[in-house]
Amino acid sequence: MQKKFLSQYEEMLLKNLKCSSSDSDNIPDHVLVEYMKKSNLSSMEGFYQEILDFERNGIDNSEKPVGFFCNIVPEEIMLACSLRPVRLCCEDYGCGSKGEEIVPGDICPVIKSICGKFYSNTYDNLEVVVIPGTCDPKAKLAEILSPVKQVYFLDIGRNSEYLGNVDVWEKKYTQFFQFLKETFHCNAGRRQLLSACKLTNARTEIFRSIYQLRAEQPDSINVFDYYIMMYAGFFMKVEKWNALAGKVYRQAKQIHKFVDKPRVLLAGTPVIFPNFKIIDVMEESGLKMAADLQCISFGRFYNPVLIDEETEAGILRALTLKDIAGSMCPCMLNLEKLVNLMIDTVNQYKLDGIIYYNLRLCQVFELQTALIRQILKEKGIPFLSIKTDLGKEDTGQLKTRMEAFREMIESRKV
Protein backbone atom coordinates (compact mmCIF):
# COMPACT_ATOMS: atom_id res chain seq x y z
CA MET A 1 0.00 0.00 0.00
CA GLN A 2 2.72 2.36 1.08
CA LYS A 3 4.87 1.46 -1.88
CA LYS A 4 2.03 2.08 -4.26
CA PHE A 5 1.38 5.47 -2.76
CA LEU A 6 5.03 6.38 -2.99
CA SER A 7 5.31 5.47 -6.64
CA GLN A 8 2.23 7.54 -7.43
CA TYR A 9 3.69 10.46 -5.54
CA GLU A 10 6.96 10.17 -7.40
CA GLU A 11 5.23 10.08 -10.75
CA MET A 12 3.24 13.16 -9.91
CA LEU A 13 6.31 15.07 -8.80
CA LEU A 14 8.34 14.03 -11.81
CA LYS A 15 5.53 15.14 -14.06
CA ASN A 16 5.30 18.46 -12.30
CA LEU A 17 8.99 19.14 -12.15
CA LYS A 18 9.93 18.05 -15.63
CA CYS A 19 7.01 19.28 -17.65
CA SER A 20 7.90 22.90 -18.11
CA SER A 21 10.48 24.24 -20.50
CA SER A 22 13.47 26.08 -19.17
CA ASP A 23 13.52 29.29 -21.19
CA SER A 24 12.68 32.60 -19.50
CA ASP A 25 12.72 30.97 -16.06
CA ASN A 26 15.99 32.56 -15.04
CA ILE A 27 16.46 35.95 -13.51
CA PRO A 28 16.27 38.47 -16.36
CA ASP A 29 19.46 40.33 -17.21
CA HIS A 30 17.94 43.77 -16.81
CA VAL A 31 17.47 43.26 -13.06
CA LEU A 32 21.18 42.71 -12.74
CA VAL A 33 22.09 45.59 -15.02
CA GLU A 34 19.99 47.91 -12.88
CA TYR A 35 22.14 47.19 -9.85
CA MET A 36 25.30 47.20 -11.93
CA LYS A 37 24.61 50.82 -12.81
CA LYS A 38 24.38 51.79 -9.15
CA SER A 39 27.81 50.37 -8.40
CA ASN A 40 30.64 52.84 -7.99
CA LEU A 41 33.40 50.24 -8.20
CA SER A 42 34.80 49.06 -11.52
CA SER A 43 36.17 45.91 -9.90
CA MET A 44 32.64 44.72 -9.14
CA GLU A 45 32.14 43.90 -12.81
CA GLY A 46 33.67 40.47 -12.34
CA PHE A 47 30.97 39.46 -9.87
CA TYR A 48 28.14 40.66 -12.11
CA GLN A 49 29.67 38.79 -15.02
CA GLU A 50 29.86 35.61 -12.95
CA ILE A 51 26.20 35.87 -11.98
CA LEU A 52 25.16 36.47 -15.60
CA ASP A 53 27.12 33.43 -16.72
CA PHE A 54 25.63 31.32 -13.98
CA GLU A 55 22.06 32.34 -14.69
CA ARG A 56 22.46 31.70 -18.40
CA ASN A 57 24.52 28.55 -18.51
CA GLY A 58 24.30 26.92 -15.11
CA ILE A 59 27.32 25.02 -13.90
CA ASP A 60 29.58 22.87 -15.98
CA ASN A 61 29.10 19.18 -15.30
CA SER A 62 32.81 18.47 -15.37
CA GLU A 63 33.35 20.23 -12.05
CA LYS A 64 31.13 17.81 -10.12
CA PRO A 65 28.77 20.40 -8.65
CA VAL A 66 27.05 19.51 -5.40
CA GLY A 67 24.10 21.56 -4.23
CA PHE A 68 23.57 22.44 -0.59
CA PHE A 69 21.48 24.60 1.69
CA CYS A 70 22.45 26.44 4.86
CA ASN A 71 25.78 27.00 6.57
CA ILE A 72 25.27 23.83 8.50
CA VAL A 73 26.52 21.85 5.51
CA PRO A 74 30.30 22.13 5.64
CA GLU A 75 31.69 23.50 2.39
CA GLU A 76 35.20 22.51 3.40
CA ILE A 77 34.34 18.82 3.23
CA MET A 78 33.01 19.23 -0.32
CA LEU A 79 36.04 21.27 -1.31
CA ALA A 80 38.33 18.61 0.13
CA CYS A 81 36.65 16.03 -2.12
CA SER A 82 37.45 18.41 -5.02
CA LEU A 83 33.75 19.02 -5.64
CA ARG A 84 32.18 22.35 -6.39
CA PRO A 85 29.75 23.37 -3.65
CA VAL A 86 26.80 25.33 -4.96
CA ARG A 87 24.50 26.95 -2.47
CA LEU A 88 20.92 26.68 -3.65
CA CYS A 89 19.12 29.06 -1.29
CA CYS A 90 16.79 31.11 -3.44
CA GLU A 91 14.38 33.99 -2.93
CA ASP A 92 13.04 34.65 -6.41
CA TYR A 93 9.48 35.87 -6.82
CA GLY A 94 9.11 34.30 -10.25
CA CYS A 95 10.39 30.95 -9.06
CA GLY A 96 8.22 31.24 -5.98
CA SER A 97 5.00 31.47 -7.96
CA LYS A 98 6.09 28.52 -10.10
CA GLY A 99 6.86 26.54 -6.97
CA GLU A 100 3.27 26.93 -5.87
CA GLU A 101 2.36 24.29 -8.43
CA ILE A 102 4.19 21.71 -6.35
CA VAL A 103 3.84 23.00 -2.79
CA PRO A 104 1.00 24.97 -1.19
CA GLY A 105 1.12 28.74 -1.36
CA ASP A 106 1.13 29.55 2.32
CA ILE A 107 4.45 27.98 3.25
CA CYS A 108 8.05 29.17 3.49
CA PRO A 109 8.81 31.37 0.47
CA VAL A 110 12.36 30.01 0.23
CA ILE A 111 11.09 26.48 -0.21
CA LYS A 112 8.61 27.67 -2.84
CA SER A 113 11.38 29.44 -4.76
CA ILE A 114 13.68 26.46 -4.57
CA CYS A 115 10.98 24.14 -5.90
CA GLY A 116 10.38 26.65 -8.67
CA LYS A 117 14.06 26.98 -9.37
CA PHE A 118 14.37 23.28 -10.03
CA TYR A 119 12.13 23.87 -13.05
CA SER A 120 14.87 25.86 -14.71
CA ASN A 121 17.94 24.29 -16.21
CA THR A 122 20.32 26.04 -13.80
CA TYR A 123 20.53 23.05 -11.50
CA ASP A 124 20.40 20.30 -14.10
CA ASN A 125 23.99 19.30 -13.63
CA LEU A 126 23.94 18.88 -9.88
CA GLU A 127 24.86 15.36 -8.91
CA VAL A 128 23.90 15.42 -5.26
CA VAL A 129 21.85 17.84 -3.18
CA VAL A 130 22.72 18.07 0.50
CA ILE A 131 19.89 19.23 2.73
CA PRO A 132 20.42 19.79 6.43
CA GLY A 133 17.75 19.15 9.02
CA THR A 134 17.71 22.69 10.32
CA CYS A 135 14.09 23.73 10.04
CA ASP A 136 10.98 21.68 9.28
CA PRO A 137 10.47 22.89 5.69
CA LYS A 138 14.06 21.84 4.87
CA ALA A 139 13.39 18.34 6.14
CA LYS A 140 10.31 18.06 3.92
CA LEU A 141 12.21 19.59 1.01
CA ALA A 142 14.55 16.62 1.16
CA GLU A 143 11.58 14.37 0.45
CA ILE A 144 10.16 16.62 -2.24
CA LEU A 145 13.44 16.71 -4.15
CA SER A 146 14.37 13.08 -3.68
CA PRO A 147 12.54 11.85 -6.84
CA VAL A 148 14.50 14.25 -9.08
CA LYS A 149 17.93 14.38 -7.47
CA GLN A 150 20.07 12.27 -5.23
CA VAL A 151 19.52 13.83 -1.81
CA TYR A 152 21.74 13.56 1.23
CA PHE A 153 19.93 14.54 4.42
CA LEU A 154 22.31 15.88 7.07
CA ASP A 155 20.51 15.46 10.35
CA ILE A 156 21.77 17.44 13.33
CA GLY A 157 20.96 18.09 16.96
CA ARG A 158 19.60 21.57 17.42
CA ASN A 159 20.85 22.52 20.84
CA SER A 160 23.90 24.52 19.88
CA GLU A 161 24.80 25.41 23.46
CA TYR A 162 25.25 21.90 24.67
CA LEU A 163 28.77 20.61 24.18
CA GLY A 164 27.65 17.00 24.30
CA ASN A 165 26.10 17.60 20.90
CA VAL A 166 29.51 18.20 19.36
CA ASP A 167 30.14 14.45 19.37
CA VAL A 168 26.86 13.90 17.52
CA TRP A 169 27.70 16.55 14.92
CA GLU A 170 31.20 15.18 14.47
CA LYS A 171 29.73 11.76 13.77
CA LYS A 172 27.29 13.25 11.25
CA TYR A 173 30.05 15.13 9.47
CA THR A 174 32.20 12.01 9.37
CA GLN A 175 29.33 10.11 7.77
CA PHE A 176 28.83 12.89 5.27
CA PHE A 177 32.53 12.91 4.40
CA GLN A 178 32.41 9.15 3.99
CA PHE A 179 29.37 9.42 1.73
CA LEU A 180 31.03 11.98 -0.53
CA LYS A 181 34.21 9.92 -0.73
CA GLU A 182 32.26 6.83 -1.73
CA THR A 183 29.94 8.58 -4.17
CA PHE A 184 32.64 10.46 -6.03
CA HIS A 185 35.40 7.87 -5.60
CA CYS A 186 37.93 10.27 -4.22
CA ASN A 187 40.64 9.71 -1.71
CA ALA A 188 40.41 12.82 0.40
CA GLY A 189 41.88 12.92 3.87
CA ARG A 190 43.53 15.13 6.39
CA ARG A 191 45.72 17.03 3.95
CA GLN A 192 42.87 17.89 1.58
CA LEU A 193 40.71 19.03 4.49
CA LEU A 194 43.50 21.23 5.77
CA SER A 195 44.01 22.92 2.42
CA ALA A 196 40.24 23.43 2.07
CA CYS A 197 40.14 25.07 5.50
CA LYS A 198 43.06 27.26 4.50
CA LEU A 199 41.08 28.37 1.48
CA THR A 200 37.97 29.27 3.45
CA ASN A 201 40.04 30.98 6.13
CA ALA A 202 41.52 33.20 3.43
CA ARG A 203 37.96 34.01 2.42
CA THR A 204 37.12 34.82 6.05
CA GLU A 205 40.06 37.18 6.21
CA ILE A 206 38.92 39.12 3.13
CA PHE A 207 35.33 39.13 4.32
CA ARG A 208 36.31 40.51 7.72
CA SER A 209 38.19 43.35 6.05
CA ILE A 210 35.19 44.15 3.89
CA TYR A 211 32.83 43.90 6.85
CA GLN A 212 34.97 46.26 8.90
CA LEU A 213 35.27 48.72 6.03
CA ARG A 214 31.54 48.73 5.40
CA ALA A 215 30.72 49.12 9.08
CA GLU A 216 32.78 52.27 9.22
CA GLN A 217 32.08 53.63 5.75
CA PRO A 218 28.91 52.01 4.40
CA ASP A 219 29.18 53.78 1.08
CA SER A 220 32.65 52.49 0.18
CA ILE A 221 31.01 49.31 -1.12
CA ASN A 222 27.34 49.95 -1.62
CA VAL A 223 24.82 47.57 -0.15
CA PHE A 224 23.79 46.09 -3.51
CA ASP A 225 27.38 45.31 -4.42
CA TYR A 226 27.81 43.74 -1.01
CA TYR A 227 24.88 41.38 -1.44
CA ILE A 228 25.84 40.68 -5.04
CA MET A 229 29.22 39.56 -3.74
CA MET A 230 27.51 37.32 -1.22
CA TYR A 231 25.23 35.87 -3.90
CA ALA A 232 28.17 35.24 -6.21
CA GLY A 233 29.76 33.37 -3.31
CA PHE A 234 26.97 30.81 -3.63
CA PHE A 235 28.40 29.23 -6.73
CA MET A 236 31.78 30.80 -7.50
CA LYS A 237 34.99 28.96 -6.88
CA VAL A 238 36.48 30.03 -3.58
CA GLU A 239 39.86 31.01 -5.05
CA LYS A 240 38.17 33.12 -7.67
CA TRP A 241 35.86 34.76 -5.14
CA ASN A 242 38.82 35.55 -2.90
CA ALA A 243 40.76 37.13 -5.74
CA LEU A 244 37.83 39.24 -6.93
CA ALA A 245 36.74 40.27 -3.44
CA GLY A 246 40.31 41.24 -2.62
CA LYS A 247 40.35 43.45 -5.70
CA VAL A 248 37.06 45.06 -4.68
CA TYR A 249 38.33 45.65 -1.15
CA ARG A 250 41.53 47.27 -2.36
CA GLN A 251 39.62 49.59 -4.65
CA ALA A 252 36.98 50.43 -2.05
CA LYS A 253 39.60 51.23 0.55
CA GLN A 254 40.73 54.20 -1.53
CA ILE A 255 37.28 55.76 -1.42
CA HIS A 256 36.55 57.80 1.66
CA LYS A 257 32.90 58.62 1.66
CA PHE A 258 31.57 60.08 4.84
CA VAL A 259 27.98 59.25 5.42
CA ASP A 260 25.53 61.66 6.95
CA LYS A 261 22.75 59.16 7.16
CA PRO A 262 21.86 56.84 10.04
CA ARG A 263 23.77 53.60 9.90
CA VAL A 264 21.82 50.51 10.90
CA LEU A 265 22.37 46.83 11.50
CA LEU A 266 20.32 44.50 9.36
CA ALA A 267 19.52 41.21 11.04
CA GLY A 268 17.10 38.42 10.33
CA THR A 269 16.31 36.59 7.12
CA PRO A 270 19.03 36.60 4.49
CA VAL A 271 18.77 38.99 1.55
CA ILE A 272 19.37 36.87 -1.53
CA PHE A 273 19.55 38.19 -5.07
CA PRO A 274 17.15 39.05 -6.76
CA ASN A 275 14.99 39.78 -3.70
CA PHE A 276 16.61 43.13 -2.91
CA LYS A 277 13.34 44.78 -1.92
CA ILE A 278 14.30 45.49 1.66
CA ILE A 279 17.66 47.08 0.86
CA ASP A 280 16.12 49.00 -2.04
CA VAL A 281 13.63 50.52 0.35
CA MET A 282 16.29 51.15 2.97
CA GLU A 283 18.44 53.06 0.48
CA GLU A 284 15.46 55.08 -0.73
CA SER A 285 14.39 56.06 2.77
CA GLY A 286 17.87 57.19 3.73
CA LEU A 287 19.06 54.38 5.99
CA LYS A 288 22.50 52.91 5.47
CA MET A 289 23.00 49.21 6.03
CA ALA A 290 26.39 49.25 7.77
CA ALA A 291 26.55 45.76 9.19
CA ASP A 292 24.51 42.61 9.00
CA LEU A 293 24.14 39.36 10.89
CA GLN A 294 22.64 37.24 8.15
CA CYS A 295 23.48 33.66 7.45
CA ILE A 296 24.56 34.18 3.85
CA SER A 297 27.19 36.77 4.74
CA PHE A 298 28.13 37.14 8.39
CA GLY A 299 27.11 33.67 9.41
CA ARG A 300 28.82 32.01 6.50
CA PHE A 301 32.06 33.95 6.26
CA TYR A 302 32.80 35.64 9.56
CA ASN A 303 33.94 32.69 11.67
CA PRO A 304 37.19 31.01 10.72
CA VAL A 305 37.98 27.34 11.06
CA LEU A 306 40.42 27.12 13.93
CA ILE A 307 41.90 23.67 14.08
CA ASP A 308 43.33 22.49 17.33
CA GLU A 309 43.83 18.83 16.56
CA GLU A 310 45.27 18.49 13.09
CA THR A 311 43.84 15.03 12.64
CA GLU A 312 40.94 14.17 10.38
CA ALA A 313 38.54 13.87 13.32
CA GLY A 314 39.89 17.06 14.84
CA ILE A 315 39.32 19.04 11.65
CA LEU A 316 35.77 17.75 11.32
CA ARG A 317 35.16 18.71 14.92
CA ALA A 318 36.47 22.22 14.33
CA LEU A 319 34.11 22.46 11.35
CA THR A 320 31.12 21.49 13.46
CA LEU A 321 32.05 24.14 16.01
CA LYS A 322 32.29 26.79 13.34
CA ASP A 323 29.21 25.78 11.37
CA ILE A 324 26.79 24.60 14.03
CA ALA A 325 27.88 25.68 17.50
CA GLY A 326 28.76 29.21 16.35
CA SER A 327 25.72 29.43 14.12
CA MET A 328 23.19 32.25 14.47
CA CYS A 329 20.44 30.31 12.70
CA PRO A 330 17.14 30.77 14.57
CA CYS A 331 16.50 27.05 14.24
CA MET A 332 19.05 26.47 16.98
CA LEU A 333 18.83 27.39 20.62
CA ASN A 334 20.93 30.54 20.48
CA LEU A 335 18.73 33.55 21.14
CA GLU A 336 20.88 34.81 23.99
CA LYS A 337 24.04 34.95 21.96
CA LEU A 338 22.21 36.43 18.98
CA VAL A 339 20.99 39.31 21.13
CA ASN A 340 24.47 39.66 22.64
CA LEU A 341 25.94 39.79 19.17
CA MET A 342 23.43 42.42 18.07
CA ILE A 343 24.17 44.66 21.05
CA ASP A 344 27.90 44.13 20.69
CA THR A 345 27.91 44.94 16.97
CA VAL A 346 25.88 48.08 17.56
CA ASN A 347 28.24 49.19 20.34
CA GLN A 348 31.41 48.28 18.49
CA TYR A 349 30.64 50.18 15.31
CA LYS A 350 28.51 52.87 16.98
CA LEU A 351 25.47 52.05 14.87
CA ASP A 352 22.16 53.85 15.24
CA GLY A 353 19.64 51.06 15.25
CA ILE A 354 18.64 47.57 14.27
CA ILE A 355 16.29 46.51 11.50
CA TYR A 356 15.07 42.98 11.91
CA TYR A 357 13.99 41.66 8.55
CA ASN A 358 11.59 38.80 8.55
CA LEU A 359 10.44 37.02 5.45
CA ARG A 360 6.79 36.24 5.95
CA LEU A 361 5.96 32.63 6.82
CA CYS A 362 9.35 31.85 8.30
CA GLN A 363 8.19 30.86 11.75
CA VAL A 364 11.48 30.63 13.58
CA PHE A 365 12.51 34.17 12.71
CA GLU A 366 9.05 35.40 13.59
CA LEU A 367 8.87 33.63 16.93
CA GLN A 368 11.95 35.26 18.37
CA THR A 369 11.08 38.79 17.26
CA ALA A 370 9.08 39.60 20.38
CA LEU A 371 11.85 38.47 22.70
CA ILE A 372 14.52 40.41 20.83
CA ARG A 373 12.35 43.51 20.78
CA GLN A 374 11.84 43.34 24.53
CA ILE A 375 15.55 43.01 25.36
CA LEU A 376 16.60 45.75 22.94
CA LYS A 377 13.94 48.05 24.35
CA GLU A 378 15.49 47.65 27.77
CA LYS A 379 18.89 48.45 26.31
CA GLY A 380 17.54 51.51 24.55
CA ILE A 381 18.55 50.50 21.04
CA PRO A 382 16.10 51.57 18.30
CA PHE A 383 14.57 48.47 16.80
CA LEU A 384 12.34 48.02 13.78
CA SER A 385 10.86 44.71 12.84
CA ILE A 386 9.87 44.34 9.19
CA LYS A 387 7.72 41.50 8.00
CA THR A 388 7.26 41.13 4.27
CA ASP A 389 7.21 38.57 1.49
CA LEU A 390 8.73 38.23 -1.97
CA GLY A 391 6.08 40.35 -3.69
CA LYS A 392 6.51 44.05 -4.40
CA GLU A 393 3.06 45.19 -3.30
CA ASP A 394 3.96 46.56 0.10
CA THR A 395 6.97 48.66 -1.00
CA GLY A 396 5.22 51.97 -0.29
CA GLN A 397 4.13 50.92 3.16
CA LEU A 398 7.63 49.69 4.01
CA LYS A 399 9.10 52.96 2.87
CA THR A 400 6.80 54.92 5.18
CA ARG A 401 7.80 52.78 8.14
CA MET A 402 11.50 53.08 7.35
CA GLU A 403 11.28 56.83 7.00
CA ALA A 404 9.50 57.06 10.33
CA PHE A 405 12.26 54.93 11.83
CA ARG A 406 14.91 57.20 10.35
CA GLU A 407 13.21 60.27 11.74
CA MET A 408 12.98 58.61 15.13
CA ILE A 409 16.74 57.89 15.10
CA GLU A 410 17.56 61.41 13.98
CA SER A 411 15.35 62.97 16.63
CA ARG A 412 17.13 60.87 19.27
CA LYS A 413 20.46 62.20 18.06
CA VAL A 414 19.56 65.85 18.46
Partner 1 sequence: MIRISVARRIVQIICFVLLVYGGYIFKDWKESAETSQQKIFPTLKAPEGSVSTTQFEKGSILWPSGATPVIENYPPSLVCRFNPKGGMFKACIMHFLSENLTWQTSFKYLLPYITLFIALCFLLGRVWCGWVCPIGTVGDFLTYLRRKMNIPVRRFPERFRLNLSITGYSLMVIALAISTVIGMPNYARFQCYWFLPYCQICPARLICPMFGLIKPNWKDFSTGITTCFTILAWIVLGLFVAAFYFGRRVWCHMCVVGLINSWFNKGSGIELHKKAIKCIKCGYCADACPMGLTAMYQLNRDAIYNQAGCIMCMRCVEVCPRKGCLNVSFFGKKIGNMQRRTLDAKKVSEPVRRNVA
Which residues are near partner 1 by CB under 8 A?
A: 160-161, 163, 166, 189-190, 201, 204-205, 208-209, 211-213, 216-217, 253, 258-260, 262-263, 302-304, 306, 308-314, 317-318, 321-322, 325-326, 328, 334, 336-337, 340-341, 343-344, 349-350, 410, 413-414
Calculate Rg over the CA atoms of the chain.
Answer: 21
**Cα separation of 36 and 48, whole Å?**
7
**Minimum separation from the CB atom of position 103 to partner 1 (A):** 34
**Minimum separation from the CB atom of position 333 to partner 1 (A):** 10
**Minimum separation from the CB atom of position 273 to partner 1 (A):** 25
Q: Which is nearer to partner 1, 337 or 360 (CB)?
A: 337
Q: Which is nearer to partner 1, 180 or 409 (CB)?
A: 409
Q: Which is nearer to partner 1, 60 or 308 (CB)?
A: 308
**Minimum separation from the CB atom of position 110 to partner 1 (A):** 24
Q: Which is nearer to partner 1, 121 or 201 (CB)?
A: 201
**Minimum separation from the CB atom of position 50 to partner 1 (A):** 25
**Minimum separation from the CB atom of position 329 to partner 1 (A):** 12
**Minimum separation from the CB atom of position 343 to partner 1 (A):** 6
**Minimum separation from the CB atom of position 355 to partner 1 (A):** 18
Burial of 272 (0-12, 13-18, 19+ CB in 10 A): buried
Q: How far is CA 196 from CA 12, 75, 193, 237, 319, in A?
A: 40, 9, 5, 12, 11
Q: Which is nearer to partner 1, 67 or 262 (CB)?
A: 262
Burial of 15 (0-12, 13-18, 19+ CB in 10 A): exposed
Rounded (10°) CA dihedral 92, 95, 97, 101: -150
For 52, phi then psi, to 5°, come to: -60, -45
Q: Which is nearer to partner 1, 102 or 341 (CB)?
A: 341
**Cα separation of 330 and 340, whole Å?**
14
Q: Which is nearer to partner 1, 61 or 340 (CB)?
A: 340
Q: Which is nearer to partner 1, 18 or 198 (CB)?
A: 198
Asked if residues 235 and 86 have their Cβ atoms less than 8 Å apart, the reply is: yes
List CB contacts of 71: < 8 A, sequence separation 6 or more. Answer: 295, 299, 300, 323, 327, 329
- Size (the chain), residues: 414
List CB contacts of 341: < 8 A, sequence separation 6 or more. Answer: 293, 328
How many helices and strands, by DSSP H and E, does the chain display? 17, 8
**Minimum separation from the CB atom of position 294 to partner 1 (A):** 15
Q: How far is CA 232 from CA 50, 227, 240, 373, in A?
A: 7, 8, 10, 32
Outline where 154-237 has alpha helix (H): 164-184, 190-216, 223-232
**Cα separation of 284 and 116, whole Å?**
30
Q: Which is nearer to partner 1, 145 or 328 (CB)?
A: 328
